[in-house]
Amino acid sequence: MLVKWIRCTVMDRRGFERGQRKWAGLLGEPGFRGQGGGWSRARPDVAHIFAFWESRAFYDSFMARSHDRLAASQAGTFKDIQTKLFDHRFDVKTGFEPRFTDADVARVAHCRVHEDRAEHFALMQEKVWNPAMAGSPGMLRGLFGEAPGSEFLVLSLWQSAAEHGKYRVERIERLGLRARTAADVAALTGDVVQLEPAWTV
């Protein structure tokens, strides 16, 4: 599965949200698996969107044919768009499905990892972080994705911001030491996204 993560700064919130609903047109696209997103809880003018495709070939075909028509309605409503593609490497918890209807917030972490530490980082994600996250009340499902150049995406869906907050406070520091994250990671950016039901496709 291919995961697309889009982040942008929105200047015209009303126009952007109106345009976001037009992406319902994705539903008929071959290979499309689902899309959802919302607003950053830390920076209310930043929007995040997560889209899922069966394969790169289906995605490339969509980009060549239908993308520009669907995107046209949002032209001029945002700036500083950043788009990244990741290959799904493994699930956090079990059986990831690109569904957003039962989740309140998404947590996204984008890690640039030292090249010689990439395998160690992925192993620690599987052996240390995954079980901790999977055992946290309120954590629904998630995935670990990889992009060329030792870049990784950890996306998790949570029932509520409060549940995610509890996990953060109790666990992060201890788990980070155990996984030796500081030695692996060159740069880490993350956000908590308040999901917008109207953006779910």
Confidence of residue 173 (pLDDT cuts 50, 70, 90): confident
Q: Inform me whether the pLDDT recorded for 132 exceeds 80.
A: yes
Alpha-carbon gap, residue 146 to 18, rounded angstroms: 32
Burial class (CB in 10 A: 0-12, 13-18, 19+), 115: exposed
Characterize the bridge pairing of strands 139-147 and 78-92: antiparallel
Alpha-carbon gap, residue 142 to 157, rounded angstroms: 6
- DSSP codes joined into one string, 157-198: EES-HHHHHHHHHHHHHHHHHHHTHHHHEEEEEEEEEEE-GG
**CA–CA distances in Å: residue 192 to residues 47, 54, 168:** 11, 25, 11
pLDDT (tens digit per residue) in 70-105:
999 999 999 999 999 999 999 998 789 999 999 999
Read off the tokens for 150: 């030792």
* φ, ψ for residue 199, nearest 5 deg: -90, -5
The predicted structure's pLDDT at residue 170: 66
pLDDT (tens digit per residue) in 13-67:
999 999 999 999 999 999 999 999 999 999 999 999 999 999 999 999 999 999 9
Q: Are the C-beta atoms of 195 and 140 separated by less than 8 Å?
A: no
Q: What average pLDDT is seen over the chain?
A: 94
Within a 13 Å sphere around the CA of 175, how many CA atoms are in the beta-carbon half? 17
Q: Name which residue leads in pLDDT, 173 or 121.
A: 121
The residue among 187, 189, 200 whose CA lies nearest residue 46 is: 189
Percent of the chain with pLDDT over 90: 84
Alpha-carbon gap, residue 79 to 7, rounded angstroms: 10
2-199 adopts what CATH topology?
Alpha-Beta Plaits (3.30.70)
**Residue found under tokens 């799904």:** 88
* Domain ranges within the chain, ordered by starting residue: 2-199
The predicted structure's pLDDT at residue 169: 67
Confidence of residue 167 (pLDDT cuts 50, 70, 90): confident
The predicted structure's pLDDT at residue 11: 98
The predicted structure's pLDDT at residue 61: 97
